[in-house]
Amino acid sequence: MSRRFDVYELIALIRPRPAMYIGDHSLACLRSFLDGCFFLAEEYGIEISEHPSFGGFCDWVAEHFGWYESTAGWCNIIVEECGADQSKALDRFFEVIEEYTRRGDIG
């Protein structure tokens, strides 16, 4: 049986009830959770299926918010744009990721 990890399916699952999956209504918690999922997928040879590439999300977020560069990372950029409010940043993330995925030409 081939296993597959799709970050966008997971995000869609988390969106209606984030506390059930990540504990707090916090973008930093979601980022840590996703980092762990990507690590486990790589570690156990689970195919990562994603379109557009989640790897391109950071650069896209920086451009979307008018940042000069993306070195701060997508999570930090969104949190900063939300006045350091982790809860507001999580809500904004779900809006931004939806916009990113609608643009199928990315990645």
- Is position 89 within any domain? yes
What are the tens digits of pLDDT across the range 48-99?
887 788 889 999 999 999 999 989 999 999 999 999 999 999 999 999 999 9
- Is position 107 within any domain? no
Given CA atoms 7, 18, 21, 60 in this order, what sign does their dihedral have? Answer: positive
What are the tens digits of pLDDT across the range 8-41?
999 999 999 999 999 999 999 999 999 999 999 9
- Is position 98 within any domain? yes
Task: Look at the chain and report how many structural domains it folds into.
Answer: 1
pTM for this model (two decimals): 0.88
- Is position 64 within any domain? yes
- Is position 19 within any domain? yes
- Is position 34 within any domain? yes
Domain ranges, residue 88: 4-102
- Is position 80 within any domain? yes
